[in-house]
Structure 1
Amino acid sequence: MATVAAMQPGWNLGNTFDAIPDETAWGNPPTTQAMLHQVRSQGYKSIRIPITWSNHHGPAPDYTIDSAWLNRVRQVVDWSLAEGLYVLINLHHDSWQWINTYPTDSTTVRNRFDALWRQIAVTFRDRSPKLLFESINEPQFAGTSGDDQSDQVLNTLNTEFVRLIRQTGGTNATRVLVLPALYTSSEQARLDALSGTFATLRDPNLAATVHFYGWWPFSVNIAGGTRYDGNVEQDLISGFDRVRNTFVSRGIPVIIGEWALLSYDYTRPGIIERGEFLKFIEAVGYHARTRNLTTMLWDAGSFLDRDQLRWRDQGVFDMMKASWTTRSATASSDQVYLPRSGTIPSKTLTLNLNGTTFQGMRQGATALRQGTDYTVSGTTLTLTSSALTRLAGNRAYGVNATIEALFSQGAPWQISVISSDTPVQSAATGTTSSFAIPTQFRGDQLATMEAKYADGSGAGPADWTTFKEFWSSFQPDYTAGTIILKPEFFAEVNDGRVTLTFHFWSGKQLTYSITKSGTTVTGGAG
């Protein structure tokens, strides 16, 4: 428990040593001492280094790990330990590349599993106890009768893992070993199965691990899941309560080995609205901290720019860092949309104080004036017409100004003042493999898209909802002035007419009709 508590907070070196076939294959630069120093200097206490071994060892029966690969892993582990970081290493994508065949090829998988872990264990046998081993990332199995049988298979491998590591002696005799639930799920049945493994092993130096990527509709922006709402919050609280009650309350520590949102990706902006993501970050930090859970951020390059050694969004990191020790206030939105012309009205936001008290407003280093620029009544913040008119300036489309609400603790809440008009769309022709709707966004941003047949049923993928998945079915291109409908969308659309409704963050909606005939698509507004 003390070791895992000391690991909070943690960070993942994602898409690096787990990348296939090698360290830089998925777009990240080689890991450097300077990068690890930067991670430590930002307040992180631990680093998870996911490692895929599949392509880096020889044939049966020895499965000898390639010496150059093992030496490189050892170098980065040692650099991390020298920085004072706790380090967690594992078998990563091996889980779905070959470990998943255990039910139908148990002898081969067991021999390979044992050979790899024996070599890893011997290599690091005398390293600091600040190095931890995790048996398998997101374990899953093919060919079982269902999850109950898969739980039994995982119990076999987790038990073998602990036995094997302990037998290698040295620091490994008492090293903290991390055991995942099936799929690293926090569903109660999966936690109960893992709890049974702990009860049988009776080893005081074990930790449990699950992953957390939030309520799925919000995590990928499907089914109208654009906001951090009650569904998202309840999913978070329920999952964290289950792992606390199943493990932590019994003295077994829990590591949230990966957390973020599935579709938060700097290369695909707009899927997750920034302010809604900030609310999620704040809540994850608070609910994990109050349940004594250690969290390890999944970062495959979307948070830390590893080339520049700086955060891609400093405000996102600031909210994350604040959540390690305190609560931050948020608001109903981080955007205020103003008309491009005409009189600018006052605008209100609802404050989520989260135990803080409101302290004031500022633009840069300049304080805004209470009573003149804004008023606060309870949890209602009102930005006055005169202040918004001044902040809007020449009212160019887009963000005209950024202001901040300040509170007694935690990170400030940024608010973008945006000028916009109702977007305009034009007729288009194309094919199912190349179709884009000309769209003048006029300062607005796309939140989501609905697709319906004439009878009101959902068109396209995931037809159980009319709201389609952002980016996989549709994608705004603000530079080109288009909304792209993806081939993956049309692959599941019937011939005939489909009505699209585009929802924008200003609250505006546009209706657009498309007609599909074979591979030909035509469309028009209204």
Structure 2
Amino acid sequence: MRFKLFFLVYYFLGTSIGFTQMSAWEVVESMGRGLNIGNTLSAPTEGNWAPIIYEQYFIDVANAGFSNVRIPADFFGSRTSGITSNWSANPNTSNQYNGSIADFSVNPSYLNRVETVVDWSLNQGLYTVIDFHGAQLKSEFLDTFNASNTDVYTSPSSAKRAADLMKFKSIWIQIANRFVNHPEQLIFEVVNEPYFEVSAAEMNALNAMIIEAIRSTGGNNSTRSIIITGGTSTSYQAPTTIGDQVLNSDPYLIASFHYYQPFNFTASSREQYTNYTWGSNADKNTINNHFNSVRQWSEANNIPVTLGEFAADNADGINYETGVSGAFNGPENASRVEYHRYLAEQAINRGFSFSAWCAGNKSTKSIHLRTDNPQINNVISGTWVEDVKEALLADGDWPECYGPSSADIIKNPDFECGYSNNWSLSVQGNAAATFSAATASVFSGSTAARVDVTSSQNYNRVLLSNVVYEEDLSDKKLTVGCYVRAFQPGISFRLRFKSQVNGTTTYVPSEIFQLSTNFQYYEFEYEAPQGTSSVQLQALLGADVGTYILDNFSIQVEDTSLGLSSYGPLPKLILFPNPVKDFLFFKSDLNINNVKLYNILGELVFEKKRPNQIYIGQFSKGLYFIKAEFDNGIEITNKFIID
């Protein structure tokens, strides 16, 4: 809610207030849950495929609790003047093309209409996506990339391909110029579902061209979030074909995928699709696996993700305008509701914003019944398909730790991002053990790792492992530390690095550490030999029956070839309690020279030299950031919550 409030203040008061630029990750989190307006503005004439839209629609959407609206719009056809058909489609003719951006002009009346609709959405505090989308976009532009479309295909080296690309670029520059001063809550989406016609390589080039074109217009477009997708692969695999050069070219990119699987269910109002039920464990496991692969790609490539479309056909194929059921049936209502609920929940759980597909009252996929238009007189009354609307809003929790992944050798070292995030337990042989979150017994923060060993064997039969770090660590000394306690006296553990050295797997364990029933600090040094290409930290816990609590891992890396610390030494900063009501305390392994406290707007609100605690009771509740400067010059920024 705070994002919407800040946005409304910004939008109405303008740029006189010094707001910090939101990252693409923050934009996606703020987008949250939303809807598409369907083929309203993307129809050849507004009103042909869905009712003409009115401001009340956006009031309804915001009042229901949604946070974003995706607006498909088609700028091809009669909406942009300037032809490309006079240029040769034959190979090796691109040098004949001598046109320019100025050859094409978007109809100002259509741009005015799009701007009116966009402003209606923004005025309700909704994050708003302009999505280049439509049948004429497909027939005039996207279809020309696919050689199987023999009637319209153009060679990549042809003059017509050059002209078509120039037209697409010209349209985007005109869109960008029109919205150059609109707030960052307006988002541009390069093109809808290009992957059915456009190859991965061609889509990479297209993305790069439009990103550069949008950025060239300056103003708020310099940092506006841009949604992109890849070519060739469809559905949840679409983002995975985006090239590294595109991904690394701009920090304000958001990847998109659409999801309509399984078609036999989601499109079952059509004759050829006949599965009317959904929701088994197998059905849900398929969603989990697909969404997990997207999240893993997102984390590996440091780019946030939005689920741009998903939906299932109306129950029994019903048409809400006429009240008539479909000729070929359709999904059972309970299955349709559960499909929307589960996909929404799983998207939010993984940090994907979403925009469910809703094409209005007379379509096969309805959520809002378009009663914003005063001419509408549906046989089935109501503003919403209520159970589906409520399902989209019902469940899901944004990930505890969300944002670009770090390049740290130990990921999630304090378990505050979820005890099992980047950590896994392996139990072998005759040993038996379980892995869970410790919340009542922690060294700091709110969560530690708990491993209960109920049957022991050898140390390496119960392994708590962090993720594999894959970088050249030749001639580096790794010093890892952690705080560990046991519930019972007389039990022990070891640390170990599993490494790949010149293609061979090696294991180097620490000494045996005897545990206390109180937290103690344990440290292990490992010198990586030449040829070390990866390391993985492991805690070996299988020798004794008992309960182990592990917390606050840290690592220091030194370059032994130079005798210098490569990354530090890396200071450790612990804030507690967090959330906090009055005094915030600091714990660090290095001296803190200075701390600065910033609110969520990026404003400096407090500064203190050499603190070990600060009183924060005078500040408003909410999220704050603290920047600590250490005596060695290193700065670390952490976040905390005032409750």
> Which TM bucket (shorter chain)?
0.5 to 0.7
- Hey, what's the Cα distance between the residues in 2 that align with 1:126 and 1:5? 23
Q: Spell out the pairing of 1:117-516 with structure 2 (5 A cutoff).
A: 117-140=172-195, 142=197, 150-182=199-231, 185-188=234-237, 190-201=238-249, 203-221=250-268, 222=273, 224=275, 226-248=277-299, 250-261=301-312, 266-267=318-319, 268-269=325-326, 270-301=329-360, 302-307=366-371, 310-324=382-396
**Matched length:** 316
Paired position in structure 1 for 2:75: 53
Q: For the Cα contact (< 8 Å) 1:151–1:182, is it kept in 2?
A: yes
Paired position in structure 1 for 2:586: none
CA deviation profile, 1:282-310 (whole Å, cap 9, x unmatched)? 21122112111111011101111112684
Paired position in structure 2 for 1:109: 164
Q: For the Cα contact (< 8 Å) 1:81–1:87, is it kept in 2?
A: yes
Q: For the Cα contact (< 8 Å) 1:166–1:173, is it kept in 2?
A: yes
- Hey, what's the Cα distance between the residues in 2 that align with 1:239 and 1:245? 10
Per-residue deviation at 1:200? 4.3
Give, as a single letter, the amino acid of the residue that structure 2 aligns with 1:172: N
Closer, same or farther: CA 200–106 of 1 in aligned 2, 3 Å: farther
Q: For the Cα contact (< 8 Å) 2:236–2:259, is it kept in 1?
A: no
- Hey, what's the Cα distance between the residues in 2 that align with 1:308 and 1:132? 24
Q: For the Cα contact (< 8 Å) 1:212–1:258, is it kept in 2?
A: yes
Per-residue deviation at 1:99? 2.1
**1:120 aligned counterpart, secondary structure:** helix
- Hey, what's the Cα distance between the residues in 2 that align with 1:208 and 1:284? 18
**1:50 aligned counterpart, secondary structure:** strand
- Hey, what's the Cα distance between the residues in 2 that align with 1:218 and 1:68? 40
Paired position in structure 1 for 2:127: 86
Q: For the Cα contact (< 8 Å) 1:285–1:323, is it kept in 2?
A: yes
Give, as a single letter, the amino acid of the residue that structure 2 aligns with 1:280: Y
Per-residue deviation at 1:30? 1.9
- Hey, what's the Cα distance between the residues in 2 that align with 1:184 and 1:134? 18
Matched, 1:37 2:59: yes
Q: For the Cα contact (< 8 Å) 1:96–1:140, is it kept in 2?
A: no
Closer, same or farther: CA 184–321 of 1 in aligned 2, 3 Å: farther
Per-residue deviation at 1:186? 3.9
Paired position in structure 1 for 2:501: none
Matched, 1:22 2:42: no
The one of 67, 84, 98 equivalent to 2:140 is 98
Paired position in structure 1 for 2:114: 73
Per-residue deviation at 1:110? 0.6
- Hey, what's the Cα distance between the residues in 1 that align with 2:192 and 2:372? 29
Per-residue deviation at 1:116? 0.3
- Hey, what's the Cα distance between the residues in 1 that align with 2:287 and 2:207? 27
**2:74 aligned counterpart, secondary structure:** coil
Paired position in structure 2 for 1:416: none
Rg larger in structure? 2
- Hey, what's the Cα distance between the residues in 1 that align with 2:264 and 2:177? 44
Matched, 1:5 2:7: no
CA deviation profile, 1:9-36 (whole Å, cap 9, x unmatched)? 11111110011x111011x222111111
* TM-score, structure 1 normalization: 0.57
- Hey, what's the Cα distance between the residues in 2 that align with 1:187 and 1:43? 26
Closer, same or farther: CA 6–70 of 1 in aligned 2, 3 Å: same
Give, as a single letter, the amino acid of the residue that structure 1 aligns with 2:357: W
- Hey, what's the Cα distance between the residues in 1 that align with 2:130 and 2:233? 16
Give, as a single letter, the amino acid of the residue that structure 2 aligns with 1:323: D
Q: For the Cα contact (< 8 Å) 1:95–1:139, is it kept in 2?
A: no
**1:307 aligned counterpart, secondary structure:** coil
Give, as a single letter, the amino acid of the residue that structure 1 aligns with 2:352: L
Per-residue deviation at 1:185? 2.4
Per-residue deviation at 1:214? 2.3
Return structure 1 stretches of 4+ with deviation > 6 angstroms: none
Q: For the Cα contact (< 8 Å) 1:214–1:260, is it kept in 2?
A: no
* TM-score, structure 2 normalization: 0.47
Closer, same or farther: CA 205–293 of 1 in aligned 2, 3 Å: same
Per-residue deviation at 1:115? 0.9
Structure 1, gaps ≥5 residues long: 327-526
- Hey, what's the Cα distance between the residues in 1 that align with 2:248 and 2:389? 41
Task: Give the share of equivalent positions with the same residue, in percent.
Answer: 28
